[in-house]
Amino acid sequence: MAEERSEGAGSAPAADAAGSASMAAATAAGAPAARGRVALGMSGGVDSSVAVAALQAEGYEVAGVTLVLQDTPEARAAAETAAGVCARLGAEHHVIAREELFERAVAAPFAAAYAAGLTPSPCVGCNAAVKLPALLAVADELGCAAVATGHYARVGHLTDGRWAVLAALDHAKDQSYMLAALTQGQLARLVLPLGGMTKLAVRAAAADLGLACADAPESQDICFAPQGYRAFLAERGVTAEPGPILLPDGREVGRHQGLACYTVGQRKGIGVAGPEPYYVLAKRVADNALVVGPAAAATLARVETGPVNWQAVDGLNAPADAMVKLRYRSRPAACIIVPREDGGATVRLREPQPLTAPGQWAVFYQGSTVLGGAVIEEVG
């Protein structure tokens, strides 16, 4: 595997809970060497807010950019908060509406995927298809050579000239999975100032800067469905039509509330009692059936993916050993990636893993480096 070449704040090896102190020290030592202008995606939360100061400490002139993806009270409040943070830290601020792009590239496909029985991972696609393209377009308008976000990950420029996402040094907060769909062109201009900091350091930095968001709780919901994904789907016409709950042998053991209310691999909330806990094994859209079974049946040895977005490598022409994450919060599992002629991959797992849902992303790693990623189309 090619070695990483340090690229400023984007792959800075800095970090622990002393992060806020190091920013303060850099400021006290005088102005850092100028790095040019950077357009930073600003949500107004603690991560993007501290990213402003981290970039300034690295010598960047920061232009905060709040992307309004839905015209809602929450979005307007976030833009106001981000503007206040930028004013406090001496950065300019811009509000850019991208509702139509977001609807076309994320919201509508999300609803369509659920209607097809999948469980999509919208953030991965949104970063590559909406946030980065929008930020890059604004950066060009504002004369910014680089763009930045508050993700916990790093960017590596490898010795063979390719770019790749690297895992954050804070493994508990690592968001490299969410950036697996980014292209070489996007990565070449991306700076990730929080990749070498822990969440504890970020909160400490926010407190030192006097930011109200220092103790703000973590956001856990899908950002575009604050009322919950079921209500969002209902608004899009994805109705919850009850149907049978079946065992693998076809016996009916109950009734489900609508396939969109469940995900493959789910254990709790199925509503069916048995001699041992049941897991969701499959969602059959054709006959509106939810298939459940015991834990012994809720494992997989193989997944089939759609076309792979390769990062650290240009592609594979032979099977390769790697680690794979089959959902955002899962542990990496050893696997063999077998490339297919259609651009997808067969992923053979070295050991059986808990079931994951089609629609999630399989993200491949070697060490801390993202090789690439793809949407899971089939589990087996």
Q: How many domains does the chain have?
A: 3
SS in 3 state form for 186-238? HHCCEECCCCCCCHHHHHHHHHHCCCHHHHCCCCCCCCCCCCCHHHHHHHCCC
Asked if the structure places residue 231 within a domain, the reply is: no
Asked if 284 and 342 sit in the same domain, the reply is no
| Domain endpoint, select from 297, 320, 346 | 297
Q: Both 63 and 136 in a single domain?
A: yes
CA-nearest of 326, 325, 352, 323 to 337 is: 323
pLDDT tens by residue, 292-326: 999 999 999 999 999 999 999 999 999 999 999 99
- Residue 86 sits at φ, ψ, to 5 deg, of -60, -40
> Based on the domain organization, do 81 and 175 belong to the same domain?
yes
Domain span at 327? 300-379
Query: How far apart are alpha carbons 290 and 271 in whole angstroms?
Result: 12
- pLDDT tens track for 60-107: 999 999 999 999 888 999 999 999 999 999 999 999 999 999 999 999
Residues 266 and 356 in one domain: no
Query: Both 115 and 85 in a single domain?
Result: yes
Give, in order, the Cα–Cα distances in Å from 292 to each of 73, 267, 350, 361. 40, 9, 25, 23
Catalytic residue among 126, 144, 261, 335: 126
User: What is the pLDDT, as a whole number, of residue 195?
Assistant: 97
pLDDT band for 4, please (50, 70, 90 cuts): very low
Asked if 15 and 136 sit in the same domain, the reply is: yes
Residue 224, pLDDT > 90, answer: no
Closest CA to 283 of 111, 116, 115, 117: 117
Is 172 in the same domain as 110? yes
- Is 229 part of a structural domain of the chain? no
CATH of the domain at 271: 2.30.30.280
pLDDT at 217 over 70: yes
Is 18 inside any structural domain? yes
Mean pLDDT of 16-37: 55
Residue 197 in contact with residue 14, Cβ under 8 Å? yes
- Whether 31 maps to a domain, the answer reads yes
In a domain, 235, yes or no: no
One domain, residues 56 and 187: yes
Please report which helix (H) or strand (E) contains residue 163, including its range: strand 163-167
Which residue from 214, 212, 194 is spatially nearest to 204, judged by alpha carbons?
214
CATH number of the domain that 142 lies in?
3.40.50.620
Sign of torsion over alpha carbons 138, 140, 142, 147? positive
Mean pLDDT over each residue of the chain, to the nearest integer: 90
307 within a domain of the structure (yes/no): yes
CA distance 176 to 166: 6
Nearest-angstrom CA–CA distance, 179 and 128 = 7
Residue ending a domain, among 297, 314, 340, is: 297
pTM of the model: 0.89
Is residue 41 a contact partner of residue 48, using CB atoms and an 8 Å limit?
yes
Distance separating alpha carbons of residues 170 and 283, to the nearest angstrom: 36
* 86 assigned to active site: no
Asked if 86 and 183 sit in the same domain, the reply is yes
Q: Is residue 139 part of a domain?
A: yes
| Three-state secondary structure call for residue 15 | coil
**d(C-alpha 247, C-alpha 182), whole Å:** 40
Q: How many CB atoms lie within 10 A of CB 235?
A: 11
The b/e string for 50-81 (b: 16+ C-beta within 10 A; e otherwise) is bbbbbbbbbbbbbbbbbbbbbeeeebeebbeb
Residues 148 and 254 in one domain: no
Task: Assign 221 a pLDDT band (cuts: 50, 70, 90).
Answer: low
Q: Is 335 a catalytic residue?
A: no
Q: For the domain that residue 367 is a member of, what is the CATH number?
A: 2.40.30.10
Are 70 and 200 members of one domain?
yes
Residue 233 lies in a domain: no
For residues 326 and 186, state if they share a domain.
no
